[in-house]
Every structure is written in structure tokens, then in C-alpha cells.
A = this chain, B = another copy of it.
Amino acid sequence: MSDSTNPHSLVAADVAILTIRDSALSVLLIRRANDPFRGQLALPGGFVEADETVEQAAARELFEETGVPKSASRLDTIGVYSRPDRDPRRRVISVAYTALVPNPGLDRPGGDAAATQWLPVDQALKEPLAFDHVDILEDAVDHARKQLEYTTDATAFCDGEFTIAELRRVYEIVWQTKIDPGNFHRKVTRIDRFLRPTGETTVRDGGRPAALYTAGDLKRLPLPLSPAARTSA
């Protein structure tokens, strides 16, 4: 068990922080200030400290970059990236997560402001991202699409109170499909504990006022939402 056969590694947590901006699924990227890959875009991430789990490290990164409180964050594991040469300097094993957050409005979010930016994922995937972050981002987007099918996490893209139509647009954007408004309305309102009506209404999109909802406490859908989305994919 020498250090050359069972060496210690640095373990990092990287987070694909996804949101919906201007009708596009977008990801938060950071322009790297240091080598390796200085000046290139990368997913936010950092090393795991001695007293925290990997998931806690990811939640910490998410908070530092976006201000999303750790308790509210819904992190999902995407995978473990461990090609021995993925970091040119030393062995770093990375655990990747997705975080789905509401539209932050601002172009330049949290702390290290100047260096961070939102980019539509289509565009981000064409950038020469640092390390193997293109692979991670591809897997993250795939994962997010499935996540919406089997969980209630689409509500994580909506801020506080939202209308059924706003929720529908989340699915339409992530899945790149049209969804029938009437059928969608019936489907989601029939699922128990998915949505909680507030009793309020809004007219923010014009037309007839829409009822407002908040996310319910259901996490995993009893049946996959919209088998139709799969056939068209």
C-alpha cells in the first residue's frame, strides 16, 4: 500500500447551476483566474474540506456563487469524474452535481462577480470549457431532463409563487417541446401534493388571471410526467 499505488487524491465538488433565462436553459460559468486553464470558462467548484461531505462542499459553492441558501438547495448527483489526467497538474477526482435555481435576473450574480456569467447551455457546450467540464455539463443537462420527468424539481426553477403556465414553460424549454396547456393543467393539478394553491391570482402574463401556486412537499412523481415528451424526443 505505497503512496504510488494507493495515493491520496484531491476531491472536488463541481456544480452545474442551471436556470431559465430568456427562454433558454442556462448554466453559471466562471472565468478562471488561475492556472490550469487560466482565462477559460469552468463550472463553479472547489475542494472538499476536512469537516464537510462532498455534497456540503457543493452546497457551499452554490451559496457562494448565487446566494441560494444551503437549506433550500436541491442538489442532485450527476456522477464522478476521475480520469487520471483530467487535471494536468495532479490527481483530482471530481463529484458533479446539478442545482436548479430560479431566474436570478442579474447577469453577474454572487461574490466573485466580475468572473461569473450565465450562458445558455447550447452555447456553453460549444465553449472550450476547462478540464472535462464539457462532459460534465452534457451529463448534467441530460440528467436535468430526466429529473423533470420523474421528480417535482421543475418547481425549483420558479421563484416562490408561480402560475401553472410558468411551470409549463419550464418543461417546454427544458424538453424543447410544445405542451398542450389544458392537458398540462389537469395533469399537474391532479397530482396530490405537487402544487399548493395560494388562493391568489395574477395577471402578469395578460389574459385571464391565473391562480398562483407554491411547490408542494412531493418530491418524486408517482408516474413519469408526460410520456409524450419521450416519444417526441
**A interface residue numbers (CB < 8 A to B):** 1, 4-11, 47-55, 77, 79-80, 82-84, 91, 93, 95, 222-224, 227, 230
Contact = CB atoms under 8 A, between A and B. Distances in A.
Contact of A7 (B50, B55, B83, B223): B50
B82 A79 contact: no
A52 B84 contact: yes
Contacts of A223: 227, 230
A5 B48 contact: no
Assembly of this chain: how many copies?
A: 2
B77 A5 contact: no
Contacts of A84: 50-53
A227 B93 CA distance: 38
B8 A8 contact: yes
A79 B80 CA distance: 9
Given A6-B47, A9-B9, A9-B11, A55 B77 contact: no
Given A224-B224, A227-B223, A49 B82 contact: no
A11 B83 CA distance: 13
Contact of A11 (B4, B11, B222): B11
27 contacts: A1-B47, A4-B50, A5-B49, A5-B50, A6-B49, A7-B50, A8-B10, A9-B10, A9-B48, A11-B11, A11-B82, A48-B82, A48-B93, A50-B91, A51-B84, A52-B84, A53-B82, A53-B83, A53-B84, A54-B80, A54-B93, A55-B80, A55-B82, A77-B80, A80-B80, A80-B95, A223-B230
Given A6-B47, A51-B84, 11 more contacts: A1-B47, A5-B50, A7-B50, A8-B10, A9-B9, A48-B93, A50-B84, A54-B82, A77-B79, A223-B230, A224-B224
Contacts of A51: 84
Given A80-B77, A223-B230, A230-B223, A93 B11 contact: yes
